[in-house]
Structure 1
Amino acid sequence: MPLEADVLAAFPAEVQIPARLVADSLAASSEAFPRVLVVLDDDPTGTQSVSDLPVLTRWEVADFAWAFAHEINGQRQCAVYVLTNTRSLDPAEAAVRNEEVVRNALAAAAREPGLRLSFVSRSDSTLRGHYPLEPDVIAATVTAVSGEATDGVVIVPAFPDAGRVTIGGVHYMRGTGADAGRLTPVAETEFARDASFGFANSEMAKYVEEKSHGRFSADSVIVLDLNIIRAASSSAASSDGSAVDPQVSAKAIADAIDSATDSTPIVADIVSENDLRALALGLEEAERRGKKLLYRVGPPFVRARIGQEIRTELSGEEAYAGNTPSNAGGLIVVGSHVGVTTRQLNALTSQHGAARVVEIDVDTLLCDSAEGYLDETVESVVADLRRGDVIVHTSRLLIKTGDAAESLRIARTVSAAVVAVVNRTLKTFPPRFVIAKGGITSSDVAAHGLQIRHAIVRGPMLPGIVSLWEPVDGPAKGIPYIVFAGNVGDDESLAQVTRKLSNRWP
């Protein structure tokens, strides 16, 4: 594992770029014709880096009309998230859903003269998901509806808040603990062995070639390395200490992607928020020149692209602001099976001795007796919520299969059971708060368990990595909902969030 400092030594220093500079650039471009980023989020954890934006779990034209018109702090917002949950679907279903979302978004925008849309395909910072299928479908649908062709697909999986960075065209995970300061190529991590979305390459150009089965060769990929992203730093260093001008980088980025056509893949080095903001300025310049771009990105890209400040983590008081919390216990639902989730669950159960623990046995769910088993589970959860917080988790032994379709079927069966438990509990005895751990888990709990249709992303419960949704309608209105990705945080993170929200912590 190389040291991050050694890898970065070959590149210029980052350029300090205030979020306001990006926001002003976007505002200038949108003054005559407002633009909204429509973010197709393949699981709900993509909202963890943003704040005060609308999120939809349904995508009919009327839902988009609500999101485009909804005002927060007296202003319409320049991005809206759509929870597609396509990472839990097979490729054919994912394609249908992406097309439906794009068509309906464009139909809603057509009702507002001058409103322009750009599309973001938000996916995993560890490279799991339906790539290149999703950006392909989005691009094809935009062309079919509007006649507009996509010149380039900008691929930015980096998530510095969670330790995912791209340097020299290679995507890495930062080490923690004894490995702090070291970088592991992402193809050498457990995420690359995902049963449905595994991969072999950490070099992004080769990853594109691998996942596109050669349709895009590695040498056809445009790589925006840190020499380009940080061109302003290099320019200042060579001009007798003159002030750094971020527009130097913006021009360099726009120049570098000028040749993009017919959905050319474009990958970007990102190590920090400043790099993301430099990229945002460059993309804005490229689009101002007429380039039509589509984005395939990790969570923090949208925050930087719209010039949003990094929101400080919410306190427990802020999480309940505007609502009166109930005296019931909170519900913590854990579905993810990655190693960090299991460690977080163990830390929570050991520290929160007052919480009741209910395990959902996956083997039983796959048997004929599942219905009666779920009845018993709901009764237990409701009874325990009357006394305090309840931790509901699926059994930790992951049932593995070499068949991707069968893996998805098992995942759906388990998720359906978790949803049923949450929904029936909500209707019987609403909890004080709900935390859902894991991508598919948090998506299904939001859309089906809590029946959230429209919500506002209020901000992070931990710096940049755990999202608080405020449901604005439905039976969960007034109940803080925490979307907690399976693969983020340290061993203490789940306990830290629960402690903030609980009124029963020992």
Structure 2
Amino acid sequence: MTPVPMSKLIVIDDDPTGSQTVHGCPLLLSWRVEALVEGLQHPAHVLFILANTRALPWRDAEARLRSICRNLRQALSQLNLEDWQLVSRGDSTLRSHFPLDAQVLSQELGPFAVLFVLPAFLPGGRTTVGGHHFLHGQPVHLSSYARDSRFGYRTSCLAAWVEQKSGGRIPQTTVTRLHWQEDGNRLLTRLASLPQGAVVTVDASEPEHLHRFGQLMQRRRQQGHQDLCWGAASLIDALVDPGPQILTGRDWAGLRRRDAWGLQPGVILVGSHQPGADRQLAKLLTAPSVKGLEIPLEGLRQGLAPAQLAPSLAAALGHALQQERRTVALYTSRGERLRGDEAGQLALAEAVAQLQEMVLDPLCSSLGYVISKGGSTSDTLLRRVLGLDRVALRGQVMPGISLVQPAAPLGQAGLPVICVPGNMGTDETLLDLHQLMEPEHSLTPGCPGIQAPSWPRPEGRRSITVGFP
């Protein structure tokens, strides 16, 4: 794909796992002006700002987005940078704060001529055909994601979805569909006739559609239009070419940290409660090389403080890592436990985050690597446990699954963290990733690591339960 000529593609991501199609760029967990200036000066064409707003209630998400945008405006002004494209990577199988994120970005950094909505994510089997969104060929509103207790929806028709999510403020009759039966000049003419701020959904079911969308956006910039794009990670692919990925195959296992006794074990965090995550965990726990350690959500629901549960969990985790030298799957109790009103869900999620922080913080030096399943779980790890304000995106260990690594002092290795979106992977994905980082436990003799399939699909116990104190 020909790179789109722009100084910087700026992606404001509502979840830490959205950098699923690129590599070699910085991911910022801080939006201080000085951090943004440094990020914009990085030689990579793409800059990600990990806002994690999907984990916040509506008003807090809005406040965070406004803070990011205002600091970003200052950073752009300091650098006198005018040639930039903004993307709101705010989609997880149509679950998001949309249209809040797009509206705030338009108010603070716009106005924008057109809001393009492109939720297709080809590595995950998500396509848009005829204005309708599909997951492996099935209408997405029939999936478990549509029944999400916070961000559920009732339709796979994107125009109707826009109307539903906007509370009727954007009627579906005003939403335009972009398809690829028209030639480029006719598309440009039709788009130019739309009123400012019009919403345009984009059909995409194959890489060629993404390529054509990238070309279309390039021509619109040449015509002087500044647009806002909202969607999934394949949208980033359409707008910029990151070039060939350097790390592949056995290189990933080479990032695993060592201590005086050799290669260190890892921790596999499973916080996502999607059905596919349950199946991935069950498969992972069949591996003799992995010990399961359960975080009992019922105790938190019954009012126990995280500090009451943390000592027993930390002791069990520490023993497995330091004495047994064994990798641990640390997971929350299975099943959808976050139902109820939004305030109750978010309070329980915050208690889980505090507990994760208390348990992992004193043991970070004992870790060779981390695999983190779920966006909020990954954000807690990177931002709160490791205390990071930025990480480097090393690349995709499998399509749609990123490995990030913080900077480390000279002579030391940064902890490699594999971020697995809650809606990504086959039943074997977590086990495959564990064996990729620990090829000595691969089921294939002599195999240096699991080779990733070309198109992993989204979803589809020998363990210890630490009881209440």
Q: Does 1:51 align with 2:13?
A: no
Q: Does 1:299 align with 2:233?
A: yes
Alignment check: 8 A CA contact 2:292 2:328 kept = yes
Alignment check: 8 A CA contact 1:166 1:270 kept = yes
Q: Which position in structure 2 is the counterpart of 1:365? A: 300
Shift of 1:430: 2.8
Identity %: 27
Provide the rounded CA distance (Å) in 2 between the counterparts of 1:277 and 1:120.
Answer: 17
Unaligned stretches of 5+ residues in structure 1? 1-18, 71-75, 144-148, 175-182, 232-248
Alignment check: 8 A CA contact 2:374 2:420 kept = yes
Alignment map for 1:264-413 (pairs within 5 Å): 264-309=198-243, 311=245, 314-318=248-252, 320=254, 327-350=263-286, 352-366=287-301, 367-386=303-322, 387-413=325-351
Q: Which position in structure 2 is the counterpart of 1:203? A: 157
Q: Which position in structure 1 is the counterpart of 2:454? A: none
What secondary structure sits across from 2:435 in the alignment? helix
Q: Deviations over 1:87-117 (max 9, x none)?
A: 1000111111111111111211212134433
Q: State which drifts further: 376-385 or 408-417.
A: 408-417
Q: Deviations over 1:440-499 (max 9, x none)?
A: 11111111122222211111111x211000212599961111110111111111111111
- For 2:177, the aligned partner's letter is V
Q: Which position in structure 2 is the counterpart of 1:137? A: 104
Using a 3 Å threshold, how does the CA distance of structure 1 residues 312 and 344 change in structure 2: closer, same or farther? farther
Q: Which position in structure 1 is the counterpart of 2:130? A: 168
Provide the rounded CA distance (Å) in 1 between the counterparts of 2:360 and 2:211.
Answer: 39
Provide the rounded CA distance (Å) in 2 between the counterparts of 1:316 and 1:364.
Answer: 41
- For 1:136, the aligned partner's letter is Q
Using a 3 Å threshold, how does the CA distance of structure 1 residues 369 and 95 change in structure 2: closer, same or farther? closer
More helix by percentage: 1
Q: Which position in structure 1 is the counterpart of 2:119? A: 157
Provide the rounded CA distance (Å) in 2 between the counterparts of 1:152 and 1:256.
Answer: 12
Provide the rounded CA distance (Å) in 1 between the counterparts of 2:357 and 2:206.
Answer: 37
Using a 3 Å threshold, how does the CA distance of structure 1 residues 303 and 474 change in structure 2: closer, same or farther? farther
Provide the rounded CA distance (Å) in 2 between the counterparts of 1:272 and 1:420.
Answer: 44
Alignment check: 8 A CA contact 1:312 1:460 kept = no
Alignment check: 8 A CA contact 1:422 1:450 kept = no
Q: Does 1:415 align with 2:353?
A: yes
Alignment check: 8 A CA contact 2:267 2:327 kept = yes
Q: Deviations over 1:399-456 (max 9, x none)?
A: 2434123222222222332233222321xx4300011001111111111122222211
TM-score by length of 1: 0.82
Q: Deviations over 1:130-160 (max 9, x none)?
A: 00001100110114xxxxx211111100001
Count of matched residue pairs: 436
What secondary structure sits across from 2:371 in the alignment? strand
What secondary structure sits across from 1:320 in the alignment? helix
Of 19, 36, 41, 1:64 maps to 36
Shift of 1:199: 0.8
Alignment check: 8 A CA contact 1:303 1:309 kept = no
Shift of 1:307: 2.4
Q: Deviations over 1:186-219 (max 9, x none)?
A: 1111101111111111111111111112211112
Provide the rounded CA distance (Å) in 2 between the counterparts of 1:318 and 1:91.
Answer: 38
Shift of 1:320: 3.5
Of 435, 438, 441, 1:499 maps to 435
Q: Which position in structure 1 is the counterpart of 2:451? A: none
Alignment check: 8 A CA contact 2:258 2:368 kept = no
Of 96, 102, 116, 2:63 maps to 96
Unaligned stretches of 5+ residues in structure 2? 443-469
What secondary structure sits across from 1:205 in the alignment? helix
Shift of 1:227: 1.7
Alignment check: 8 A CA contact 1:254 1:283 kept = no
Shift of 1:312: 8.5
Q: Which position in structure 1 is the counterpart of 2:406? A: 471
Q: Which position in structure 1 is the counterpart of 2:83? A: 116
- For 2:190, the aligned partner's letter is A
- For 1:112, the aligned partner's letter is L
Alignment check: 8 A CA contact 2:252 2:436 kept = no
Alignment check: 8 A CA contact 2:258 2:264 kept = no
What secondary structure sits across from 2:372 in the alignment? strand
Provide the rounded CA distance (Å) in 1 between the counterparts of 2:430 and 2:246.
Answer: 18
Alignment check: 8 A CA contact 2:257 2:368 kept = no
- For 1:420, the aligned partner's letter is M
Q: Which position in structure 1 is the counterpart of 2:373? A: 437
RMSD of Structure 2 on Structure 1 (CA) = 2.2
